[in-house]
Amino acid sequence: MDSLFPQGEILFDTRQGHPLLKRRSALFRIRARRKIAGADDCYCAGAGYSDFMSEISINSASLREAGRRACDRPYTEIIDIIDQWAAAWEDPAFPPWKQVRDQAGTNHLIDHAILTLCRSAREEHVWQLIGEQVGDVKELPGLAPRAAGGWRLARGYPLVGVFLGGGAWLASWPVFLLAIIARSAVYARMSEAEQFWPALFQSSLALIDPDLAGTIDTGHWPSRDTDRHDELCRTADLILAYGSDETITSLRTRVPASTPFMGFGSRLSAAVVDRDAALDDTARKAANDIALYDQSGCLSPQTILVEGPAARGREFAIALDRELEAATRDWPADGQTPGQKMAIRTARDLISMEEGGLALGPPDLRWSVLFSLAGRFELSPMGRVAGVRVYESDADLESLLAPWEGMLQAVGVGSSNAIRRLTPILAGAGATRICPIGEMQFPRLSWSHDGRAILTSLIRWLDVDAP
């Protein structure tokens, strides 16, 4: 069927006090140009929204046509529309902010995440991104001469299929923006856990330019519906997949050999509190990095490595416990699964039995800080569980990170003057992003996810060897 957001006619109307509405799920009022399942107006909440979306088939012809129309527009116009959209989000009166408040409450971390991404999508930064990842900015809109002779043309894939993960809420927005920059149409399969934010992106863009918003469509179906997976994999010209390693492996086998595939699997992040970092301020910032997304994203720190003696590490752990309590009061956790709770209790018990170990956190497990003198970096059960370890030298830090080479995504660093000094060590450990603690969850549009320049991967080159 056609895009669910025709000419800006889709409305996301979160109804306060509706009996089906929970804090993390929204009630959508969807008005399409033609009847859907025999009704002009459909009201869906929670699981009902998923059931509704599962009936939507992928209309590749409609999406490809929308993408073709976008390609016919001047390229500067496309960049200008993105700039208008990004600027609109900087205005607190922009209507979609109401949906954000209804969905997520008033939270400065969410605001900062949205604004950081949107500011990096302003016109000046988009042209810089194109220059960095594609080359001469003149090349993307049309034919450009090659230094060796002839010409070349940069083109996006007509239809990009995306399997979105359920971790960081805003993870879909950079994918959609980069596809628009490449002038590709997108069909995204949303996760069961996160369907609000992808839809919000499209509806907010429709307020600026409905036609460009029509190059994006979304749907959801159960993970067990492998026929729908196969349909998207067969239909798209490029597949991007986000999720667990098992999910990526499974999807890779479904993609035709002739279709490019980019998989973004399980990754972990860490933080380093160097000797120059102020403990209380760094603990507050680290607590924000941990609390946002409840550690479900690949940029969420799982273990924090504190430079110095055991007493300094212990002092930081106590400060982090205090700051996580404050963060959880301001931004309550979603809650853990029974399996997570069992893993957290086990981790607390094991740390408590260690000599010099310290397990902090409330009995209801809303957060935990696990300080240990064991010289190893351990995975967190997630759910706001942070390990704290100490190291004495750069060589110790290198040794702690070495087992996780190839799995390390981001590393936050406590003081700015330590970032340059530690970069060779962190790069050697395989990190793809280094930033200050407190900014780990807020990457710019130009971030190279898993160390890959995503815009470059969305571009195909045509070489014209002619005099």
pLDDT in tens, 101-121: 998 888 888 999 999 999 999
Q: What is the pLDDT of residue 108?
A: 86
Strand 159-163 relative to strand 238-242: parallel, antiparallel, unpaired?
parallel
Conformation bin of residue 57: beta by default, left when phi > 0, alpha when psi is -120 to 50: beta
Report how far residue 398's alpha carbon sits from residue 400's, in angstroms, rounded to the nearest whole number.
Answer: 6
Which range is least confidently modeled, 53-57, 73-77, 137-141, 432-436? 53-57
pTM of structure:
0.84
Contact 96, 200 (CB under 8 A): yes
- pLDDT at residue 133, as a whole number: 85
Lowest mean pLDDT among 103-107, 123-127, 179-183, 317-321: 103-107
Q: 443-467 burial by CB neighbour count: b if 16+ within 10 A, else e?
A: bebbbebeeebbbebbbbeeeeeee
Burial of 91 (0-12, 13-18, 19+ CB in 10 A): exposed
Residues sharing a CB contact under 8 Å with residue 91, sequence separation 6 or more, in sequence order: none
Query: Predicted confidence band at 99 (pLDDT cuts at 50, 70, 90)?
Result: very high
Give CA separation, 22 vs 15, 18, 19, 104, 209, in Å: 10, 8, 8, 11, 31
**SS3 state at 218:** strand
pLDDT at 141: 56
Report which of residues 18 and 11 the model is more confident about.
11
Minimum mean pLDDT among 197-211, 265-279, 449-463: which range? Answer: 449-463
Separation of alpha carbons 186 and 175, rounded Å: 9
Q: Which pLDDT score is estimated for 328?
A: 93
How distant, in Å, are the alpha carbons of 7, 54, 373, 389 from that of 310? Answer: 61, 53, 7, 8
The tokens describing 227, both together, are: 């026929």
Q: Per-residue DSSP letters for 136-194?
A: STTTTTS-EE-TTSSEEEEEE-SEEEEE--SSSGGGHHHHHHHHHHTT-EEEEE--SS-
Residues 219-237: pLDDT tens digits? 999 989 999 999 999 999 9
Confidence category of residue 343, pLDDT binned at 50, 70, 90: very high
Mean pLDDT over 235-263 rounds to: 95
DSSP state, residue 404? G
330: pLDDT strictly greater than 80 = yes
Block residue for tokens 């590749």:
60
| pLDDT value, residue 58 | 67
- What confidence category does residue 15 fall into, taking pLDDT thresholds of 50, 70 and 90? very low
Question: Model confidence at 57, in pLDDT bands (50, 70, 90)?
Answer: low
Q: Which of 25-34, 35-44, 173-182 has the highest mean pLDDT?
A: 173-182
Separation CA 3–CA 65 (nearest Å): 11
- 358 to 61, 355, 362, 374, 397: CA distances (angstroms): 59, 9, 13, 12, 21
Reading the block at residue 116, the tokens are: 């950081």
Does 439 score more than 60 pLDDT?
Answer: yes
pLDDT at 29: 29
Q: Give the pairing of strands 144-145 and 185-189.
A: unpaired
**Tokens 């807020």, residue?**
442
All domains of the chain in start order, with CATH: 58-265 (3.40.605.10), 268-436 (3.40.309.10)
Q: Which two tokens stand for residue 40?
A: 């002009």
pLDDT category of residue 71 using cuts at 50, 70 and 90: confident
More confident residue, 347 or 51: 347
Write down the pLDDT at residue 103. Answer: 86
CA 391 to the chain's CA centroid: 30
Burial of 312 (0-12, 13-18, 19+ CB in 10 A): middle
Phi, psi of 65 (to 5 degrees): -65, -40
Contact between 159 and 104 (Cβ < 8 Å): no
How much of the chain, in percent, has pLDDT values that exceed 70?
Answer: 86
> Model confidence over 392-431: pLDDT tens digits?
999 999 999 999 988 999 999 999 999 999 999 999 999 9
